[in-house]
Amino acid sequence: MRFGILGPLDIRTDDGGSVDPGGPRPRALLTLLLLAAGRTVTTGRLTEGLYGAEPPAGAANALQSQISRLRRRLGPHAPIEAVPAGYRLAVPSGAVDAHRFERLAAEGRSALAAGDPERAADRL
């Protein structure tokens, strides 16, 4: 799967099909997980991201429900794993456009610093 978060959220399967994660909360939840692709996002951070600094009563249960729905929508190609401190979206960072952009920009800056403008232009 490929994920676009630079601009409107876009989810593509390997064969180019589109996946709809659902309404605003599932989209926000997925974006929070994608920003940390492959790393743990604490339940506190997810709850704050979804509900603000003062979450409503029952926010922990609501988060679990949102995770469950999102898992069903994404299927086995982008598993959301429960870990001791929170959740982790088990996809490589290269599957997310923002992370690819950061990597290519860093490679371009390094190439410029090394005096290789051709390689820098290729990366940037």
Residue pair 29/67 in contact by the 8 Å Cβ criterion: yes
Tens of pLDDT, residue by residue, the chain (124 residues): 999 999 999 999 989 899 999 999 999 999 999 999 999 999 999 999 999 989 999 999 999 999 999 999 998 877 899 999 999 999 888 899 988 888 888 888 988 889 988 888 888 7
- Please list, residue by residue across 8-25, b when 16 or more beta carbons sit within 10 angstroms of its beta carbon and e when fewer do: ebebeeeeeeebebeeeb
- In Å, the largest CA–CA distance within the chain is 57
Distance between CA atoms of residues 2 and 92, nearest Å: 10
Q: What are residue 11's DSSP bridge partners?
A: 3
